[in-house]
Structure 1
């Protein structure tokens, strides 16, 4: 049965985007627990297999059902700010009300018959405040081991998705935005319908606070929503470009584009499916970093790429004009 979010005027005027490193961490953990969702992420899974084996994540696995089901919302709560730091989100998780934590953990454990009455389940529910602290500690370890080293690239992909959808909204309004989020999301008659959604028992309906839209690298092929009160209604959807985030092969540039820009410059532009650094592009295209830097300089002057510093890295991504040029080939 689908999940329907009926959006009033207040909801529509308060729709917003956010990027949450905490939510990304727990979506990555959910991916590890559910092999059917591995798809696009096999390269990442191979690369992190040894790291995952060195982490004792059993207390977290207790609340991430392998066969699907509810994961406590406080583990990856919708952020209050558009671009929170992981540290701020983790502090908010540590401050979870024990009564709320108990209710959400009980709901999660109930998804697996007998788990709530197991020694591990009873221990978790008997001391919800202590369980929150332990889960926060494990989440912090998982973040630093699995996501933090690649976070600049992850964030760049998510920001590129938001930039693309912001352009969609500017060109075609909210209708263009909401109809283009995901094939499993339908927008009509002021209702946002998640067709393949199954966890409906305590799903939060729209309530005038707007809908929070969050792109994710790890959520594919699902769309996640239905946060219960007190959390803001949220839709987490696969980010544009995430399918090739870990892919090694580089697509050849279209012939017409190569004739227009030159083979090397066209290859760099066409290869920017996801944001990347000069060093990464040089390795990907078997070019000298100086050559890639020269190509990027020309492409940026032409308005086809833009750059943004992320920590120690400068990441490049295509602009809307660059996307249109590559798509037209």
Structure 2
């Protein structure tokens, strides 16, 4: 099985990160029909005719999607983890665009082998600048599908990261990692099972390990050996995947009112006012007013996560919702 050897020092250095390029790859997979995250089907369906038109007029893009955008194995250069200084999608895309041609060719060849594709690569993939052509495809996905919605997506990812970080503090890395993505298991003794496939183990000693949320139903792993490794996992904060907020207990509704009880019940994980409005059906202004009262009563508190302010239940708030 595919196992990463992850010592306690590697986990101690591990961190969560947001990656615009990883999200764009996730959307590309969804457009290609390789796994659609909950809540994304309608949005992707609206863009799929334009995506198909792009593939019809761009031979490289069509061949890349057919032979490299696969559920089992993605090309390594497509999944390189972000650097700490990356501040935009284009920071990551420019680095992908600079990937040397021999490496792209080797990654595409390995991808075909791992996915069980016999025979030579299709001629359409043999272009002078395959990294640039791949960057153009990802740039189209970013511009047409992701960019306008990126602020919302980023807020969801930041909320997920706050929730996961809290889980690390209360349950430890082993418990947190176990629930990140399908197939991921902490085996103990520094062994992290990535999947059940017969791949040789990878020793991550002295490496940086990143955990990246994205709108994907399964996720993937990536690396820039030997210094950086990443696990891209399904974001748990997607509104389309969450469904309605849990109904508060009747006693709590009578105590603090139905609207405030609904807001408090929806804070099972840290959330922004926008998320709370979507989950409870309350107006954004009303959510803000109720949060102010709940904070003054000591039932919720808040913290900043990137550009978002996230609210969470205090110990008193947790005790009230448990009754």
Q: What's the TM-score, normalizing by structure 2?
A: 0.79
Q: 1:174 to 1:48 in 2, by over 3 A?
A: closer
Q: Which of the numbers 217, 220, 224 marks the counterpart of 1:224? A: 220
Q: For the Cα contact (< 8 Å) 2:247–2:265, is it kept in 1?
A: yes
Matched, 1:91 2:84: no
Structure 2, unpaired ranges of 5+? 56-60
1:255 to 226, 250, 253: 250
2:312 matched to which residue of 1?
319
Distance 1:9 1:248 in 2: 36
Deviation at 1:114, TM superposition (A): 5.3
C-alpha contact 1:3 1:200 (8 A) present in aligned 2 = yes
Q: In the alignment, does 2:322 pair up with 1:328?
A: yes
Q: Deviations over 1:191-239 (max 9, x none)?
A: 1123x443737x7442321422223331x2x352264735622222223
Distance 1:268 1:32 in 2: 34
Which of 204, 207, 210 aligns to 1:212? It is 210
Q: How does 1:91-170 map to 2 (within 5 A)?
A: 91-110=94-113, 111=115, 113=117, 116-121=120-125, 123-124=126-127, 127=128, 130-170=129-169
Structure 1: gaps of 5 or more residues: none
Give the 3 Å change call, closer, same or farther, for CA 114–6 of structure 1 in structure 2: closer
Alignment of 1:1-329 (within 5 A): 2-34=1-33, 37-38=35-36, 40-41=37-38, 43-55=39-51, 56-57=54-55, 58-59=61-62, 60-66=64-70, 68-81=71-84, 84-110=87-113, 111=115, 113=117, 116-121=120-125, 123-124=126-127, 127=128, 130-182=129-181, 184-187=183-186, 188-194=188-194, 196-198=195-197, 200=199, 204-218=202-216, 220=217, 222-225=218-221, 227=223, 229=225, 232-242=228-238, 244-245=239-240, 249-271=244-266, 275-278=271-274, 282=277, 285-301=280-296, 302=298, 304-306=300-302, 317-319=310-312, 321=314, 324=318, 328=322
* Per-residue Cα deviation, 1:274-321 (whole angstroms, up to 9, x for no partner): 74545x75566454444233113223443625365977xxx5543253
| Cα distance change of structure 1 residues 141 and 303 upon mapping to structure 2, 3 Å threshold | farther
Q: 1:32 to 1:144 in 2, by over 3 A?
A: same
Aligned length: 310
Query: What is the DSSP-based 3-state SS (H/G/I as helix, E as strand, rest coil) of the residue aligned with 2:110?
Result: helix
Structure with the larger RCO, 1 or 2 (CA within 8 Å, 6+ apart):
2
For residue 235 of structure 1, give the secondary structure of its aligned residue in structure 2.
strand
Distance in 1, Cα, partners of 2:222 & 2:280: 42
1:23 deviation in Å?
Answer: 0.8
Q: RMSD in angstroms over aligned alpha carbons?
A: 3.4
Distance change in 2, residues 1:101/1:285 (3 Å): same
Q: CA deviation at 1:44?
A: 1.8
Mapped partners of 2:199, 2:160: distance in 1: 28
Contact map agreement 1:200 1:226 (CA 8 A) in 2: no
Does structure 1 retain, via aligned residues, the 8 Å contact 2:162–2:305? Answer: no
Superposition deviation, residue 96 in structure 1:
1.5
Higher mean C-alpha deviation, range 175-184 or range 150-159: 175-184
